């Protein structure tokens, strides 16, 4: 199709844009041994600018070198089946790649006859790491807490009203409601496999504060966000997995939260640490209120849904009927929260305040 030619599938790695020539190929589903052959070799750099943010040093008159940290979880993908992937990169770029042996700590070191060859090998490795990263389940997400005292109170009232006024709604029970202290606006998710990656993601968020967040919020602080209205993730209100709340700016420029979310995701996307959700250009802004994955399969629906044993039932996920909830509470007003900080939050890990454990927090004032 003409639209495929005019808007090819691309991936950003370390500030460079790569085009995947076959848009039908899903780069997250390759087996390790054929990832390089089917993906990397068919990518081309769209931006030829020499803007690599890493150091290449001259070892002697005939050799150059650079080093990079790679989580041990991705080393197997770089080596490939029987070492084929590593050898292919070395052959194509005329480099020698030194990878720490299993159980050893240290960075990958690349040696080559020129800066260009060393940089080319590093970019190939980064593409493999990025593609491998996108296969992993997310470990962290960028969030804006939406758990002000006002919102928590109104949310608890909403929960009580729903359970009281919608008794005939199939599959709806108390265990599906998120805890009030955990209410948040999700901006984007990512997989961070070790401390080095967590430090780098924290650095990215800190940089984004100065380059993206504060310039965008200038003249709009304090920014107040109203949580009002309901929506759901699928097309059938009688078969819902996630019911979420909508957000809007309170007395500020309309669309500012959307612009901020999109800009942050783009910043992490260009660094190779985050993918666009379903390749959408815009973040789907949502504050999860009810989620069927939290269901407690017990005769007693009042079991504490935060209990680890309750959260990991092996039964198939069961949807709930939200038709009546949407009919009665579609414009429910949960109140206002002030944007004071943006978090790099850890999934499945809670802090002492009941909110997600932060890896990094940037203030917005």
d(CA 184, CA 256): 17
150-163 tens-digit pLDDT: 999 999 999 999 99
Report the CATH number of the 1-136 domain. Answer: 3.30.1370.10
Residue ranges for the chain with pLDDT beneath 50: 1-3, 5, 21-51, 300-313
**pLDDT at residue number 303:** 46
Q: Which fold has domain 140-363?
A: Cyclic Phosphodiesterase; Chain: A, (3.90.1140)
User: Would you call 172 helix, strand, or coil by DSSP?
Assistant: coil
- Position 203 scores a pLDDT of 97
280's torsion region: left (phi>0), alpha (psi -120 to 50) or beta?
beta
pLDDT, position 9 = 55
- Over residues 225-260, the pLDDT tens digits come to 999 999 999 899 999 999 999 999 998 678 999 999
Cβ atoms 46, 17 nearer than 8 A: yes
Q: Which two tokens stand for residue 83?
A: 């070492």
Domain boundaries, the chain: 1-136, 140-363
Q: Return the half-sphere exposure (C-beta side, CA atoms, 13 A cut-off) of residue 134.
A: 25
Residue 17 confidence (pLDDT): 60
Amino acid 169: pLDDT: 96
């Amino acid at each position: 199709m003409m639209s495929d030619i005019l808007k090819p599938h691309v991936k950003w790695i370390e500030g460079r844009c790569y085009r995947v020539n076959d848009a039908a190929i899903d780069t997250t589903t390759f087996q390790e041994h054929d990832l390089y052959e089917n993906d990397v070799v068919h990518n081309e750099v769209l931006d030829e600018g020499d803007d690599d943010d890493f150091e290449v040093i001259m070892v002697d008159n005939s050799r150059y070198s650079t080093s990079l940290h790679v989580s041990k979880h991705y080393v197997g993908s770089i080596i490939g089946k029987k070492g084929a992937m590593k050898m292919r990169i070395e052959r194509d770029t005329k480099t020698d790649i030194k990878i720490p042996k299993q159980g050893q700590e240290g960075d990958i070191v690349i040696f080559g006859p020129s800066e260009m060859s060393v940089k080319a090998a590093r970019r190939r490795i980064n593409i493999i790491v990025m593609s491998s990263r996108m296969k992993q389940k997310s470990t962290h997400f960028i969030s804006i807490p939406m758990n002000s005292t006002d919102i928590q109170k109104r949310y608890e009232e909403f929960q009580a009203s729903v359970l009281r006024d919608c008794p005939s709604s199939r599959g709806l029970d108390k265990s599906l409601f998120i805890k009030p202290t955990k209410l948040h606006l999700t901006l984007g998710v990512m997989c961070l496999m070790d401390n080095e990656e967590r430090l780098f993601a924290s650095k990215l968020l800190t940089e984004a504060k100065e380059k993206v967040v504060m310039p965008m919020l200038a003249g709009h602080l304090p920014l107040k966000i109203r949580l009002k209205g309901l929506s759901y993730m699928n097309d059938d209100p009688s078969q819902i997995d996630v019911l979420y709340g909508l957000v809007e700016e309170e007395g500020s420029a309309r669309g500012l939260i959307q612009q901020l979310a999109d800009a942050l995701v783009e910043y992490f996307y260009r660094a190779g640490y985050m993918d666009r959700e379903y390749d959408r250009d815009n973040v789907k802004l949502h504050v999860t209120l009810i989620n069927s994955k939290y269901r407690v399969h017990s005769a007693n629906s009042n079991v504490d849904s935060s209990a680890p044993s309750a959260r990991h039932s092996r039964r198939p996920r069961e949807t709930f009927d939200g038709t009546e909830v949407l009919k009665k509470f579609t414009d429910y007003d949960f109140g206002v929260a002030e944007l004071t900080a943006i978090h790099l939050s850890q999934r499945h890990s809670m802090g002492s305040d009941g909110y997600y454990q932060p890896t990094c927090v940037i203030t917005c004032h």
